[in-house]
Amino acid sequence: MTPHIAPAASLRLAQDRFGRRLAARLDAGAAELPRDITERLRAARAQAVTRRKIAVPQAAGALAAAGPSPDLGNSRPSLWARIAAVLPLLALAAGLIAIHVLQNERRARELAEVDAALLTDDLPPSAYTDPGFVQFLKNDQ
C-alpha cells in the first residue's frame, strides 16, 4: 500500500526531481567550459539553493496564515480602484503631451533664431547656397 501524498508535496517532489535531472545535465556540459565560468556557475548555483531554502518556509507560512483564498471572480472593483488604475495612464499621457509641446516650442524658437540671423546678416540668403561662398569660407579659416 502506498501512502497518500498531498498535491503540494507531490508537486514539490516533482520540482526537486526535475531540478536534479537539470543539474545533472548542466554538470555534464560544464566539463567543457573554462574554469572561470565554472566557478561563477558554482557560486550562482549555491546562491539559488540558499534562496530556495529560505523561500520555501516563508511561502508555506504565508499560505497557512492566509487561509482559504477568496473568490475574486465574482467581485467587481470599486470606483476608487478603477480611478487608481487609470490615473497613472492619464499622468503618463499628460507628461508625453507636455514633452511634445515643449519640444515643438524649442524647435520653433531655434528655427526663428536661425531665420533672424540670416535676415539680419550683411549677406543675402542666396549667398549661403553658392558653392563658391562655401569654398571661400573654408579657405578664409
Condensed to tens digits (0 to 9), the pLDDT of residues 32-65 reads 888 888 888 888 888 888 888 776 666 555 555 5
CB 128 within 8 A of CB 118: yes
Tell me the C-alpha to C-alpha distance, in Å, between residue 140 and each of 1, 117, 126.
Answer: 101, 21, 19
**CB half-sphere exposure, 6, CA atoms < 13 A:** 3
- pLDDT of residue 109 exceeding 90, the answer is yes
User: What phi, psi does 23 have (nearest 5°)?
Assistant: -65, -40
Q: What number is the average pLDDT over the span 22-28?
A: 82
Looking at residue 104, what is its pLDDT? 96
Q: What number is the average pLDDT over the span 64-72?
A: 53
Condensed to tens digits (0 to 9), the pLDDT of residues 83-99 reads 999 999 999 999 999 99
Computed over every residue of the chain, the mean pLDDT equals 80
- pLDDT of residue 108 exceeding 70, the answer is yes
**CB half-sphere exposure, 54, CA atoms < 13 A:** 6
Higher pLDDT, 4 or 124: 124
- pLDDT of residue 80 exceeding 70, the answer is yes
Looking at residue 1, what is its pLDDT? 46
